[in-house]
Chains A and B, each alone.
Chain A
Amino acid sequence: MATVTVHALTYTYPKQARPVLDRLSGTFPAGKFSLLTGVSGGGKSTLLKLIAGLLPNDEPASITFDDQPLSAIAPGQRASTVAMLFQEPSTQFTMDTVENELRFALENQQVPATEIPRRSDAALAFVGITPLKHRKLMQLSGGEQQKVALAIIVAMDSDVILLDEPFASIDPPTRLVLLEKLVALCTKRGKTIILADHDLSGYQQWVDHLAVLADGQLHLLSTAETQTRFAAFTPQRLQLTHVQLPNDQLTVCLRGTQLGLTHGDRQLLTPQNLKFYAHRTTLITGPNGSGKSTLFKALVRLGRYQGHIAYRDTDIKKIHKRHYARQVGLMFQAASAQFLNVTVAEELALSQKYGNSTYFTSTRIQQLLQQLNLAGRDDRVLYSLSSGQQKKLQLLCMLIMAPAVLLLDEPLKGLDYASIQAVMHILTTVQRDLNLTLILISHQLSGLNDLVDLHLQLADHQLTYQGVRT
């Protein structure tokens, strides 16, 4: 058990004028689940990294664990004091298999060799992933990787567990399962948990007070205010009410014939015929690791597939790569994959140079930046933006390119509520004005209702359109 106290913490990134955290104070009580939220770029990740001791802090005494700063704790004991679960599931492991990673973590804590197997097995059993023990980490889905990361924290028996948007790429059912495990860690084992998230669905029954990070300060909301915030994420708000089954009048833009997808010897999609329709917005949903991103990669010729894919009745392998890339564009799951330049202005200029410049005039772009709360950041280095800010800019850059078909892989990942509203508004307008075809993958459904016309669900290795026939 450990109470985390932050006292008058100020933090400024090197070479930045304004502090991100400004004399921030707050307490995260022992054995409790604390939920942290706030606008994109507010400093949540920064705060968590500072607590975990992963950013150099000039005033170590400003963060204490039961009145002890981290620097006063012996290095070998720090991991059993505080551990962090990261947003990006795949880059948090050192070893190849689940078992080896558990071993590595316990060896670091100098657990005697004879003790290690027992503790590993107990942790895997607690999280309910004993069957994954011998699997390769790289071949697990994002949700499974997060479960493994949690099992490691359980095995290390860390008192304070920090989680930075751990569910950002996790499907809703898996998210609930993970959340239950976390709550069990609080209630049954007395762990202190601090979790940062934008999507507030599923927390209502566990959290009484929401902590909001804004303007470099931490505010604890009252019970009533907390409930108001949660209300926007109730299940009714997350339904798609007007999706329909496709009818014969629609034009087909991408057609898969006996299209199948595999990874290694695992079949993700059994060969099937598949049509995507022009000038409509199609949503694809499905569990983690079912192969949604793999499908997109096949559509942009970044991955192998079985069968044929045709774009406007021409096999995509017969279209020149450069030409095709301008017709069918992909907004990648990871924002940084999209950028080619150094600053925000350069990146926008590049898109304008090759994109649809009659529609996206400079004034319109300024307007859009304003709406996305990104204005005035022209000279900022792209890679120093927060994850939400990067996501919004990435979307804008791809919209300006205005390819006939735009594929969007998790465009809402890590966005705060206001940003989602803004993004949805922009997507709807641009889609209508330019008559674009949008196909998007999203786990997060809030706010999507107005945009989506068609809904494809990936389940049991098959993609099927959902909705009522008209």
Chain B
Amino acid sequence: MKRWHIRDIILVTIIAFFMGVIFWAIGPVYTILQAALAPVGLSPLANELVIGIWVMAGPLAGFVIRIPGSATLGELLGAVVEMFLGGMWGASTLISGVLQGFGSELGFIFTGYKRYGWFTLALSALTTTVVTFTWDLFRNGYAAYHLPLLLLLVCVRFVSVFLFGGVLTKLINNLLVRAHVLKN
């Protein structure tokens, strides 16, 4: 199994930062969505819609670097940067960063860091959803929602994570393979 070298460490960090910057760029969209959905009491839905972009650093780093721990590290570093840039969740970003990263890491762990295709991505999206949603049950008090809404939230979250962390990641991966910078 591959070991961490200085180049990989720098790479995972830069990728994480890039994702942080892109997430920043859509920050206003998120806020507007949240404000628009708030009056009808559906503001968490805004969170579920864009969460895919936020957790994308994990699968992307996992795919590009392919060393055990890269997905977790990528997501955690993104959180560190976000905290230093004055992100809105402060100290808890560190914890959710680890959890989100670990969520997508599980997908890679289950396939033994050997398969890098659709199956792994779908699995990773599923584990990410499960892990992060469990965490939100506690942190954001999601447990207190009525059941139908809760189900809606889970589904939207899975779709978002799958679209960004799965489909989009696969498309990016295809481009990188063609550019000879990644093995298939």
Spell out A's residues near B (CB within 8 Å).
Answer: 15, 342-343, 381-384
Contact = CB atoms under 8 A, between A and B. Distances in A.
B146 interface: no
B169 to A, nearest CB: 17
B175 interface: yes
B181 interface: yes
B1 interface: no
Query: Secondary structure at chain A's binding surface: helix, strand, loop or mixed?
Result: mixed
B179 interface: yes
B2 to A, nearest CB: 15
Contacts of A381: 178-180
Query: Secondary structure at chain B's binding surface: helix, strand, loop or mixed?
Result: loop
A383 B176 CA distance: 11
Contacts of B175: 342
Nearest to A15: B180
Contacts, number: 12
Interface bin, chain B: under 10
A382 B181 CA distance: 11
A123 to B, nearest CB: 24
Contacts of A382: 179
List of 5 A-B pairs having minimum Cβ-Cβ separation, nearest first? A342-B178, A342-B179, A381-B180, A381-B179, A383-B179
A55 to B, nearest CB: 13
Nearest to B176: A342
Contacts of B178: 342-343, 381
Contacts of A384: 180
A383 B180 CA distance: 9
Nearest to B179: A342
Interface string B164-184: 000000000001001111000
Nearest to B177: A342
A383 B181 CA distance: 9
Given A383-B181, A384-B180, 10 more contacts: A15-B180, A342-B175, A342-B178, A342-B179, A343-B178, A381-B178, A381-B179, A381-B180, A382-B179, A383-B179
B32 to A, nearest CB: 20
Interface string B116-131: 0000000000000000
